Structure 1
Amino acid sequence: MTHGKARVWHASDDLVVRYADGSLPEPDAWSLETHLEGCAGCATRVSAAVRDMETGLVLAEVREAVLGAAPAREALAKAPVPARVLPRLARLLWAAGPAVRGAWLPAVLLVAVGAMALGYGGGVPGARALLLAIAPVMPVMGVVLSYGPHADPLYEVAAATPAGGLRLALTRTAAVLAVSLPLLTLTGLLLPASGAPAAAAWLLPGLALTLATLTLASFIGHRTAAGITAGGWLCAVLAPVPAATAGEATARLADQLSRCLDGAGAQGAWAAAAALSAALLTARRPAYDRLIRR
């Protein structure tokens, strides 16, 4: 450092260069930074030296990128509505999860179209019963394909964000339910009843099975939990079918579905199961804050 009168000193050229390239020892760097707070001349020299270094070039590029983003944001704000909607739509699709963006949605559409084809094109009288047997499983499968390391390549990144964990799982579950519930219920309304329960009778069971899957997933993982809930449902409703003849299979299925879905008692039990699952899921929320490996 060069010293002047009245004990005023300024940073030497060597000191400035060593500070700019990061080779100056920490105690000397602290001393220089304290000096720069009150010396405009040395601060100007240090700034010029830093700008000439590689770090300064990187900072300049970052500054230009930030400043260049402002006109882009202004242009987007002044753009037509479709141009402004597309980024929001992309964010919504990401939040909806891999299921709605992937193969699960075509599978739901295939179930709906297949039921209509069997009911009207194939003349199958029990098409609604078949739909009601499969419908509660579809949201469960959507949940499995929406959340977890097996389904989402960005799972670890998403789970580490403030919006991750159970909040993200519920957001993606809501997207799955928003697609499957109205689509499959409308399909059931369009099909002949043929002794099967009402088209909307599967809604509470579907919700209960979905919440039960999310709750079990906090213990054993999503795929195992879905296998238990979906498999249990299918075993319960399809149990009488293998023993029936070909002509009686759909009638047996409709009768079994009526026992599982029809009446205030059955619907009340499903409502209680959904409420209990929701309460347990709330209690298990901390488990979703940890990375689920299965």
Structure 2
Amino acid sequence: MRHATTNGDARVWHVSDDLAARYAEGVLPEPEAWSLEKHVEGCGGCAATVSEAVRGTAAGPVLAEIRDAVLASLPAPAPAPAAPAARRPRRRVPHRFARLLWAAGPAVRGAWLPAVLVVAAGALALAYGTGYPGVRALLLAVAPVVPVAGVALSYGPHADPLHEVAAATPGGGLRLALTRTVAVLAVSLPLLTLTGLLLPASGAPAAAAWLLPGLALALGSLALASFVGCRTAALLTGGGWLLAVLGPVPAASSGGAAGARLAEQLSRCLDGVGAQSAWASAAVLSAVLVTARRPVYDRPLGR
């Protein structure tokens, strides 16, 4: 159990030896493990207690060997140049912010965010630069696949060299997968919806009509990934959506006719209480399946 010390009116808890031992053995309940990890971020004494407990387990010698190998592979640090007398000290970026960037995944780093911006800018350029009809319908057809692709690129060995290690920690597994899914949705949903609002309607559904389908497909992809892997799941869900909306549009149609046909097909898939209710139900069922398959996410999902 935790033990507490009193400092004036503040009551601060610290990690006991028993709590550290249960954490090191991997038998500590997940909520308590998260609380412990949060505490040791700012408490050096408790961090040392937990580190000593981990070193006493069977994994301790292995971790020590890995640490020694990593340190041995690092180049020797270059001597720091003498700082001028009037030089102001640099402000260090908080380590928590760095961890947040890593956890958020492709929504804030890598090539995924620029790709989303290119889709939005390309739609606006196509509508107002060339006058191509039916650009909103085309954007609504592509938009639900964007978060699916982000989820596929955000979790698995192909996304993180240390995926196996991260998945085995209390902060990894499903928690990390959901963190990255939320980051992907937080970037793509408002950006592409705003882009849709700026495009001419041309008979297409409302700019926000794709939000529930995008959420349902992202959660469905995450749920399916527990069976077939992230990339295969994304191909199945994203490819199925594109086939459903683009398949009925004849390839030989002119620009105006193809845009009208696509808008008509999207209206069947997106417009109306029935269609939106079906997408909401699909999102809920996917979330339930993700919860039921929770232990699977502690293993690599990169197939």
Report the TM-score, using the length of structure 1 for normalisation. Answer: 0.70
One-letter code aligned to 1:168: L
1:109 is the counterpart of 2:117: yes
Mapped to 2, the partners of 1:156 and 1:142 lie a distance apart of 20
One-letter code aligned to 2:102: W
CA RMSD of aligned residues (A): 1.8
Mapped to 2, the partners of 1:249 and 1:157 lie a distance apart of 49
Tell me which residue corresponds to 2:75. none
One-letter code aligned to 2:196: G
| More displaced 10-residue stretch of structure 1: 215-224 or 149-158 | 149-158
Structure 1 residue 96: Cα displacement: 0.5
1:170 is the counterpart of 2:178: yes
Mapped to 2, the partners of 1:98 and 1:156 lie a distance apart of 18
One-letter code aligned to 1:289: D
Tell me which residue corresponds to 1:148. 156
Structure 1 residue 286: Cα displacement: 1.0
Instruction: Please show how residues 219-230 of structure 1 align to structure 2 within 5 Å.
Output: 219-230=227-238
Mapped to 1, the partners of 2:116 and 2:221 lie a distance apart of 19
Structure 1 residue 88: Cα displacement: 3.3
Tell me which residue corresponds to 1:278. 287
Give a deviation string over 1:129-178, Cα, whole Å, max 9, x none.
11100000000000011000122222112112110100000000000001
Mapped to 2, the partners of 1:200 and 1:133 lie a distance apart of 12
Mapped to 1, the partners of 2:188 and 2:127 lie a distance apart of 19
Q: Which of 234, 253, 273 is the aligned partner of 1:264?
A: 273
Mapped to 2, the partners of 1:100 and 1:144 lie a distance apart of 15
Tell me which residue corresponds to 1:40. none
1:195 is the counterpart of 2:203: yes
Structure 1 outlier segments of 4+, above 6 Å: none
Provide the aligned length of Structure 1 versus Structure 2: 215
- Structure 2, unpaired ranges of 5+: 1-87
Mapped to 2, the partners of 1:181 and 1:163 lie a distance apart of 25
Contact 2:106 2:184 in 1 (8 A): no
Report the TM-score, using the length of structure 2 for normalisation. Answer: 0.68
Give a deviation string over 1:234-262, Cα, whole Å, max 9, x none.
00000122255213111100100011000
Give a deviation string over 1:162-218, Cα, whole Å, max 9, x none.
101000000000000010000000000111111000000000000000011011100
One-letter code aligned to 2:257: E
Distance 1:254 1:88, change over 3 A: same
More helix by share: 1
Tell me which residue corresponds to 2:101. 93
Contact 1:99 1:145 in 2 (8 A): no
Structure 1 residue 84: Cα displacement: 5.8
Mapped to 2, the partners of 1:119 and 1:191 lie a distance apart of 7
Mapped to 2, the partners of 1:280 and 1:260 lie a distance apart of 23
Please identify the structure whose Cα radius of gyration is greater.
Answer: 1
Structure 1 residue 99: Cα displacement: 4.8
1:123 is the counterpart of 2:146: no
Q: Which of 221, 233, 255 is the aligned partner of 2:264?
A: 255
- Structure 1, unpaired ranges of 5+: 1-78
Mapped to 1, the partners of 2:92 and 2:208 lie a distance apart of 37
Contact 1:133 1:237 in 2 (8 A): yes
1:83 is paired with a residue whose SS is coil
One-letter code aligned to 2:277: G
Tell me which residue corresponds to 1:138. 146
